[in-house]
Structures are given as C-alpha cells and as structure tokens.
Amino acid sequence: MSEGGLKAIEYLSSPQQGYRQEAPGLDRVVDAIEAYLHDPTWRFDLDLILLGTAFQQRVWKALQAIPPGRPLTYGRLAEKIGSGARAVGNACRANPCPLVIPCHRVVGVNGLGGFAGERGGEKLEIKRWLLRHEGWL
C-alpha cells in the first residue's frame, strides 16, 4: 500500500503474520482477496498505483476485462490490443498486482504458459490452482 493505493502483490512461500497492522488500508486488500478466494467471480475494486510503460498499462487494463473462467491465449489478447504475443507475455510478467490484475487468465496455445516470470514450479502451480478455482481447468 502506498498513498492510499495498492502498488504490488508478492506471492510469499510461507504464511506471513502481522502485515495488517503495518499499512493503512491493507485490511481492504486482504478482505478483497479473501472474497475472491471464497467466490471466483468476485470483481476487485481496489485503488491501484500501477507504475509501468504505456504499453504495460494497456495490457494490464485488458487483463482486467477478461472474465473469470474464460482465459485468452497470449496471441488472442495480443490481437485484441494490436500487439504481439511475446510483448503481452512480457507485460504479464511485469504485472505488479497479480490476482487483482488477472494475468493468470492468459494462457499459451499449448499449455498454461508462464506465471510471474516462471514457466514451472510453485508459481505455475498457483496459476493452475487459480484457473481451477475459476472453473477452467
């Protein structure tokens, strides 16, 4: 949280305690994430402070329009915004607020693609779980 808006979300490998007391407004973010975990159709309505290029901002806005359970391929999203699949993937990798800006809803033609800069391991398992949670896998 910064100046009343969410700047980034980090996936932590183990549960962390005490964050709610450290930043004003964090309760709202945690409550929104918990609402999504309870109901995958939950729409995030958080104030965001997104630092990125104009292109990244365009991709992040497009990501927020993808409905839960209806992922697009990198190529299809690229077509929609008049770009290339690799550029879309790079913007997804730079996404500072995964989950709130649902980059997990962009997949490869022949598989999940990557997630948070990784093409395997724990972060890809998070993507798989999120897509299952939304009823796609």
Active-site choice (103, 106, 116, 124):
103
Q: Looking at this protein, which amino acid is placed at residue 36?
A: Y
Q: What is the DSSP letter of 4?
A: T
Say which residue the tokens 């770009």 belong to: 83
Backbone angles phi, psi at 118, to 5 degrees: -125, 145
Q: CA–CA separation, 75 vs 107, rounded Å? A: 9
92 is catalytic: no
Would you please indicate which residues are annotated as catalytic (active-site) residues? 103
